[in-house]
A and B are shown apart, each in its own frame.
Chain A
Amino acid sequence: MAKWGMVIDLDRCTSCQACVTACQMENNIPPPDAQTAREGRAIAWMELIPFGEGQGPEAPVYFLPRPCLHCDQPPCVKVCPVGATFKNREGIVAQIFSRCIGCRYCTTACPYTVRHFNWRPPHWPEPMGKQLNPDVSVRPKGVVEKCTFCHHRLQKARDRARADKREMRAGEYVPACVEACPAVAMTFGDLSDADSEVSALARSRRAFRLLEDLGTEPKVIYLREGD
């Protein structure tokens, strides 16, 4: 069974936010209107967050592209009262929008604050509402949503492989953010396969995970700047 993971090389990342935009388009995330922006309630499954190391003016600050980290020990899954979020067999922390009751327990339990709540009904300016991705459901007001590692792309890739009566090839399933990265800073693949590129990168001496000491075992691994 595959264990999907992502490596983000901060040495290559230019903070261009192509991943952020690609994610918005792929996953039917409405662009914030004036009111939403003013309230600071824009939804972004992938976002750039400043992350300092140490203190003082000399301390480096990175901009981390941060999707859901798909923890192997996800604190959000533990607390969900209705099983609307769960870790599937391939390690993806999934969210069932039609099950979520909107109690926002998962959002408070997540130490990375990656989860978003639909404070208002989604709204697209014309004509953006006519070009939604048919593979991703639109979320109503009142439910929680987050990055799914573009799970629908996995389903499609698998269906294609099954139709051709073959195994799914490495690189056939890639989330939108990874596909869009112009600096090739992001790598996606199977962490359980020791020969995969993503596994090799994850073993790098530059590799680190966010808030590792919390024991959440994220499957998004960052590579520190500087070879």
Chain B
Amino acid sequence: MGREAHALRINVDDDRILLRPITHTGPRFYLTVGVLLAITGLGTYAYLQQLRHGLGVTGLNRPVFWGVYITNFVFFIGISHAGTLISAILRIVNAEWRRTITRSAEVITVMVLLFGVGNILMDLGRPDRMLYVIQHGRLQSPLLWDVCSITMYLAASIVYLYLPLIPDIAILRDHAGRRRWFYRILALGWTGTARQLRILERLINIMAIVVIPVAVSVHTVVSFVFAMTIQPMWHSAIFGPYFVVGAIFSGIAALIIAMAVIRWVYRLENYLRDVHFNNLGLLLLVMSLLWFYFTFSEFLTTFYGGEPAHMEIFWMKINGPFAPHFWTMFATCFLIPFVILCNCRTRTLIGTVIASIAVNIGMYLERFVIVVPSLSQPRLPIDEVVYRPTWVEWSILAGCFSTFTLFYVLFTKFFPIVSIWEVQEGRAKSIAEVTERIRTYMPLLQDEAPAEPSAEGEQIWPSGAAREAQAALSRSQP
């Protein structure tokens, strides 16, 4: 313990339940890990087959040179926007309800990025030569932009996940009892002094601002891989923002699903409360509308322009071989979430989870419908090819999902998935801070003396509306 005064007093007993996943492990955990490992094993076997026999074991062919792996890549990179971006934005705007959810979001980012990158590597015909991208890299190629941007994002996300983890690691070092050496190294000598806290908060604030442009750049350059070519319905200026919107959209959905599972498995109803699902559900609704707006703009522009090469692809999506994918996507990305989320009676835990599952299915299909049709109808007629992914591709996709889940589960067994110190800091400080902040918004009455914020936050303002606002804010505190 440091000699300086402790700025952050942690009372572990208040939030003992958050340490439970780390200190207690039941049979359910081993069962889950066993099932996940089996699926991961299947994916690994599939990839070894591909490594041995070449990409011929996939359903890919000329002209559909890109398929499931590239779809996975775009999808996983999209999901990664759940964490870092959402968490950074909520931190910057001082949304107090963020405190219990940021950690679970940031973990998604780091874990899922590995699978985005992994799918690109699995798509390579010669993975043994992957370092040529650094050795002989050409910055004129959009793929190099991806390499730079994603590397930066991964690095920034790991730092951004790690920084707010430090005080919690120190709690584990002092209280978990197990793996003490491990936590001691990672805690970097954290004792919670005022100076340490000041430095930590400053660093977190800097990182929160840094990761936002990096995150936006990531999905922008992912879209540039397609948009920079002259292939019909890829060559579109809207692709950058369209992909970013889709990424945040699927990211929020993934976060909602992850939070619901965590809440159910670790019985954290008290931490991940209905208001969190309500608020994230509202965000999801906004993104769903934005997604619709972009999709509508994209398709109307193509249709009205009516260029033959583009129209071939357009009709393939609207009522051709990709119509089932397209219309399912439209239903799951827009109709279902819109209907559920625009009504506050259905915007419940169950409602948001259903909407989120729909959105994730829809966004996977969206990526597929972007990647594959544009390649299926090349400008010069060659043999017609229908792309049917093989068991290898589906197994690798399943393996990616299971390994991601496995990593996520393991994370929750080593680190608290809800930030303990941020929750306690919130309890100790943020009600007063929020009260103070709201006071600065309000025009003061002439005769009003600057009152001390009382514990309940009552009787500060004479106006009933202000009291209501205050009450609403207090309700949203965990």
Contact A121 B123 (CB under 8 A): no
Q: Which of A57-101 contact B (CB under 8 A)?
A: 66, 75, 78-83, 99-101
Of B61, B137, B138, B141, the residue contacting A39 (CB under 8 A) is B61
Given A81-B138, A104-B66, check contact A120 B53 (CB 8 Å): yes
Contact B54 A118 (CB under 8 A): yes
Interface check A131, CB cutoff 8 A = no
Stretch at the interface among B170-178, B267-275, B373-381: B373-381
Of B56, B126, B137, the residue contacting A102 (CB under 8 A) is B126
Of B60, B124, B380, B383, the residue contacting A112 (CB under 8 A) is B380
Give Cα A79 to B378, complex, Å: 18
Give 8 nearest A-B pairs by CB, closest first: A102-B125, A142-B125, A119-B56, A141-B54, A120-B56, A81-B143, A81-B141, A104-B65
Contact B136 A117 (CB under 8 A): no
Of A50, A111, A141, A210, the residue contacting B231 (CB under 8 A) is A111
Contact B65 A117 (CB under 8 A): yes
Of A51, A111, A116, the residue contacting B62 (CB under 8 A) is A116
In the complex, which residues of chain B have a beta carbon less than 8 angstroms from the beta carbon of A99?
129, 132, 136
Interface check B469, CB cutoff 8 A = no
Distance of A115 from chain B, by nearest CB (Å): 8
Interface residues contributed by chain A, number (CB under 8 Å)? 43
Distance of B411 from chain A, by nearest CB (Å): 31
Contact B137 A81 (CB under 8 A): yes
A97-132 Cβ-contact flags toward B at 8 Å (1 or 0): 001111111011101110011111100000000000
In the complex, which residues of chain A have a beta carbon less than 8 angstroms from the beta carbon of B147?
81
Minimum CB distance partner of B143 in chain A: A81
Distance of B51 from chain A, by nearest CB (Å): 10
Minimum CB distance partner of B139 in chain A: A81
Of B132, B137, B141, B230, the residue contacting A214 (CB under 8 A) is B230
Q: Which of B330-382 contact A (CB under 8 A)?
A: 375, 378-382
Q: Which of A25-65 contact B (CB under 8 A)?
A: 39-41, 47, 49-52
Interface check B229, CB cutoff 8 A = yes
Minimum CB distance partner of B232 in chain A: A111
In the complex, which residues of chain A have a beta carbon less than 8 angstroms from the beta carbon of B126?
100-102, 140, 142-143
Interface check A183, CB cutoff 8 A = no
Contact B231 A109 (CB under 8 A): yes
Interface check B300, CB cutoff 8 A = no
Given A79-B141, A101-B130, A117-B62, check contact A108 B55 (CB 8 Å): no
A-B contact pairs, 9 of them (CB 8 A): A49-B382, A79-B143, A99-B132, A103-B143, A108-B66, A118-B125, A141-B53, A143-B125, A210-B380
Contact A40 B385 (CB under 8 A): yes
Q: Which of B32-68 contact A (CB under 8 A)?
A: 53-56, 60-63, 65-66
In the complex, which residues of chain A have a beta carbon less than 8 angstroms from the beta carbon of B63?
107-108, 113
Interface check B140, CB cutoff 8 A = yes
Residues of B within 8 A of A (CB): 53-56, 60-63, 65-66, 120, 123-126, 129-130, 132-133, 135-138, 140-144, 147, 225, 228-231, 375, 378-383, 385
Distance of B388 from chain A, by nearest CB (Å): 11
Of A41, A101, A121, the residue contacting B129 (CB under 8 A) is A101
Interface check A136, CB cutoff 8 A = no
Given A117-B65, A143-B126, check contact A82 B136 (CB 8 Å): yes
Give Cα A41 to B57, complex, Å: 12
Of B62, B133, B228, the residue contacting A113 (CB under 8 A) is B62
By CB atoms of chain B within 10 A, which of A103, A144, A211, A214 has the most?
A103
Contact A101 B124 (CB under 8 A): yes
Give Cα A80 to B475, complex, Å: 55
Of A81, A107, A108, A214, the residue contacting B133 (CB under 8 A) is A81
In the complex, which residues of chain B have a beta carbon less than 8 angstroms from the beta carbon of A81?
133, 137-138, 141, 143-144, 147
Give Cα A214 to B126, complex, Å: 31
Contact A113 B66 (CB under 8 A): no
Give Cα A52 to B53, complex, Å: 38
By CB atoms of chain B within 10 A, which of A50, A78, A82, A141 has the most?
A82
Contact A119 B229 (CB under 8 A): no
Distance of A63 from chain B, by nearest CB (Å): 11
In the complex, which residues of chain B have a beta carbon less than 8 angstroms from the beta carbon of A40?
61-62, 383, 385
Give Cα A99 to B131, complex, Å: 11
Of A52, A78, A108, A140, the residue contacting B141 (CB under 8 A) is A78
Give Cα A83 to B143, complex, Å: 12
Contact A83 B136 (CB under 8 A): yes
In the complex, which residues of chain B have a beta carbon less than 8 angstroms from the beta carbon of A140?
126
Contact A101 B380 (CB under 8 A): no
Contact B379 A111 (CB under 8 A): yes
Contact B132 A108 (CB under 8 A): no
Contact A105 B225 (CB under 8 A): yes
Contact B380 A78 (CB under 8 A): no
Contact B228 A108 (CB under 8 A): no
Given A83-B136, A101-B129, check contact A108 B56 (CB 8 Å): no
Contact A117 B137 (CB under 8 A): no
Distance of A127 from chain B, by nearest CB (Å): 24
Contact A113 B54 (CB under 8 A): no
By CB atoms of chain B within 10 A, which of A99, A104, A116 has the most?
A104
Q: A81-B143, A101-B126, A103-B123 are in contact. List 13 more A-B contacts (CB 8 A).
A: A40-B385, A75-B230, A79-B141, A81-B147, A99-B136, A102-B129, A108-B375, A109-B231, A112-B380, A113-B379, A119-B55, A120-B53, A141-B56
Of A75, A101, A109, A211, the residue contacting B132 (CB under 8 A) is A101
In the complex, which residues of chain B have a beta carbon less than 8 angstroms from the beta carbon of A66?
380
